[in-house]
Amino acid sequence: MSQTLLLPRWILTMKAGEGTLEDHGLLIEGERIAAIGPRADLLSKYPQAERVELPEQILIPGLINGHAHSAMTLLRGVADDVPLMDWLQNHIWPLEKKWVSEDWTYLGSKLAAAEGLRSGTTYINDMYFFPTAMARAAVDSGVRAAVSMNVIDFPTGYASGPDDYIAKGVAAYEQYKGEKLLDWTSAPHAPYTVSDETFIKLRDLAEKLDIQMHCHIHETAGEVSDGLKQFGVRPLERLAKLGLMNERMIAVHMVHLNDAEIELMAKNGVHLVHNPNSNLKLASGVMPLKALEAAGVNTILGTDGAASNNRLDMFGEIRSAALLAKGITGDPTVATARTALEMATIRAAKAMGRADDLGSLEVGKLADVVAVSLDSVECQPVYNAAAQLVYVAGREQVSNVWIGGRQVLRERQPTTIDVPALMAQVREVVGRMRASS
């Protein structure tokens, strides 16, 4: 079995209670981490291993993007500076109706995978139509993904109604079941687009297949007030009554919360995805991270889609989450650098049901490893390497990435994606879209 010995300046394992290791190495054997220890010890013990010298670099676990619409890279920048519902109803949904297809979704998802790799993202929790396209793009790119069985109550170019969405999602799941790079989610779009009956079907599907659920909830104040008018209760109370608020639920956005709802999330083990940059850009609000942390809720990070963010940049989300929480509370001790990094690694792995395999660099776990170079003018000097990742470094410092022991980014170039060919395809498709607008 092949052995690769990574020899960085620092290792940040994200293992509970463990700080930054200096002058240590990490041994990859096959697809897993086989050893972590002092550099000299590993060099002596594994003399035949392929050595990868990473001077002035820090190894971290692969970043997990807790919420994305990968294919929407092809809609990056089509409708900026408008509110959410205007953005959806008057811009995004009409374009999707006209253009979204299996091939379009595959192309956009592959572009997202390339952007993600260059940003240190090794796992994408995706939500979009044509799940077979996302599954193919992830496998072809060597990226981990949670592929969604996405459901909305109205027809689109993908499906005619909720039962058709579910049937197609299950068929995709059956087709790719057992693919080691893929997980699956039961994914109702949002309380304002999905009926009680459909929510119950998707709840039962998640339980039957033993998978997570993935849903936009409490994204805007308007969503909450409209839900009150239509159902007589706030959306979260409605979903709780339907039996959805449990440890399977990955609730996205969760901006507008009261104390009782925060207590409910903590009590029931619901996972929340903070999307700071997308929510800021759409003026949807800011997740109350300090209150959620105090209650012990598992909060993670996501980029949302490139049409609303407009970057699939987890380093940007990590920094924004830390700074926003401090700024809106007046408390600089909230959302420490360690907390922000946990939200993109070990906490995210827990939300996806993958904490045993992913989210930290530990012997026996899958070798999803990111190297970040701190040797540039912008990143020097380094007093605290972990804090440097949050407050100084950006995605442009990501140098090398391994997923399951396979090197998928080498010196910032994807090894699994023909980037020039991909960009030629993107330019051709976007050219057609522009010409018909």
> How does pLDDT run across 23-48, given as a tens digit for each residue?
999 999 999 999 999 999 999 999 99
In the predicted structure, residue 188 carries a pLDDT above the cut 80: yes
Confidence (pLDDT) at 288: 97
Residue range 2-25, pLDDT digits in tens: 999 999 999 999 999 999 999 999
- CA torsion 96→99→105→106, rounded to 10°? -170
Contact 139, 182 (CB under 8 A): yes
Residues in the chain: 437
pTM for the full predicted model = 0.97
- What pLDDT, in 10s, does the model give residues 97-120? 889 999 999 999 999 999 999 999
Q: How far apart are CA 382 and CA 235, in angstroms?
A: 46
Contacts of residue 423, Cβ cutoff 8 Å, sequence gap at least 6: none
CATH fold for domain 3-61+359-404: Urease, subunit C; domain 1 (2.30.40)
Answer yes or no: are the C-beta atoms of 11 and 361 closer than 8 Å: yes
pLDDT at 206 over 90: yes
pLDDT band at 93 (very low <50, low <70, confident <90, very high): confident
Residue 424: CB atoms within 10 A of its CB come to 11
254 alpha carbon, distance to own chain's centre: 16
Structure tokens at 416: 């699994």
Query: Is domain 63-351 given the CATH code 3.40.1190.10 in the classification?
Result: no
Tens of pLDDT, residue by residue over 365-379, are 999 999 999 999 999
Q: Where are the domains of the chain?
A: 3-61+359-404, 63-351
